[in-house]
Structure 1
Amino acid sequence: MTRIGSNSVLVLAGLAALLSACGLFAKKEPPPGPCSRAMILGDAEQMIRFRDGPGRDILDISYSGRLIRVFTDCEYEMNKDRTGVMAVRVYVAVEAERGPANRDRIAPYRYFVTLTDAKREPVAKNVFELTARFPGNVSRMVLTDDTVEMKVPIRAGQSGQNFTVFVGFQLSDEQLEFNRRTRLEQERAR
């Protein structure tokens, strides 16, 4: 059996205290700044694609989609003068539904991501595409896209709170008018 003398205990205690103090002098990274708020644009929250022709009945729907979730996370690359670049990653979820008029079981969705400043002026806008491929008897699924990243220069004193991310479907004039008309009809029915 090996005995540890009182001097050894003191040396070990001193070494432990010295090692724990090293953390006090280590250069600490500043905490990440807040991220931009993400919002789904009301009139562009859903889309319906009818088959070609004049019909606009439920049987004429090729496919429809609804944006069901969007959120962001941010990463900062800052200079000593507190200017830098903020990378905003946007995560999007779309509920895709195949309609009765869809024969090829494919539904392409185009959506936009717009980053605006504090005055709601666009800083960046990109359009992305997601495609649903409906296997077998599946007529509804959720698609996710997590590849969207936008970089924006930021000035000293700015953070993600100075920007807002808006997401919506890239709609035709006819689809936008259909959404607005449908929303008004639903509001009147309440």
Structure 2
Amino acid sequence: MRDRMKIIGNLSLIFALVLGLYGCSQDDEEQAEPLAGCPTALVIKQASHLVHYDEGQDKDPTDVNFKVRIGDIDGVCEFKDREAIITMAIRFFTEKGPANKDQQATFTYFVAIVDPSRHIIDRQSLDLQIPFKEDKQFSGMEEELEQRLQIPEGVDPSLYKIYVGLQISDEEFQQAIQNVQ
């Protein structure tokens, strides 16, 4: 019991010293307010899936090269001064179609950052290739991506949005909206 009290007393003393040193190291200047939450990452529903046909092929189910859809997005962020560093894991799922000869799905997706006024301040197009194992119809991949964002003074970072979607051709877009109607 006496040893326990001695340990607790020593820990209390160390804690008090650490707090005292921390207090001494602080400037008398006013500290900047901590930044609020992270920007929100969202998948654009209308650009979350795609049926890809080879060029010149009919739109028959036997002419499907592959299908791809974006799954969920996980993300964490940290702040260094006024910069938000967002690390995202984006999950992609693919299905091999009957016309797929090269055992892979190759497509482009985009990531766009939108400010609180809904202006696109950054947009990237990224190519991704997901292989299919020869005897498997389905495949998937998790793509890790880092985004850096300068946050102006007085702006809440959680008001920014990061949108992710599949980049599609005009023809693929027309096919997608026909499937919606």
For normalisation by structure 2, the TM-score amounts to: 0.83
**Contact kept in structure 1, 2:65 and 2:100, CA below 8 Å:** yes
Separation in 2, partners of 1:122, 1:53: 34
Partner residue of 1:164? Answer: 161
Q: How many residues align?
A: 171
Q: Residue 108 of structure 1: SS of its match in structure 2? A: strand
Partner residue of 1:18? Answer: 13
Query: Aligned pair 1:70/2:73, yes or no?
Result: yes
Q: Which of 64-73 and 96-105 deviates more?
A: 64-73
**Contact kept in structure 2, 1:124 and 1:150, CA below 8 Å:** no
Separation in 1, partners of 2:53, 2:7: 77
Separation in 1, partners of 2:76, 2:128: 21
Please point out which of 58, 63, 79 is paired with 1:60. 63
- Structure 1 pair 20/96, CA: closer, same or farther in 2 (3 Å)? same
- Structure 1 pair 99/18, CA: closer, same or farther in 2 (3 Å)? same
Write out aligned runs for 1:11-160 (5 A): 14-25=9-20, 26=22, 33-78=36-81, 84-146=82-144, 148-160=145-157
TM-superposition CA deviations, 1:57-79 (whole Å, max 9, x none)? 1100001100111232211111x
Separation in 1, partners of 2:14, 2:4: 15
Percent identity over the alignment is 22
Query: Aligned pair 1:174/2:177, yes or no?
Result: no
Separation in 2, partners of 1:121, 1:13: 56
- Structure 1 pair 150/59, CA: closer, same or farther in 2 (3 Å)? same
Q: Which has the larger radius of gyration?
A: 1
Partner residue of 2:30? Answer: none
RMSD value, Cα: 2.5
Gaps of 5+ in 1: 1-5, 79-83, 185-190
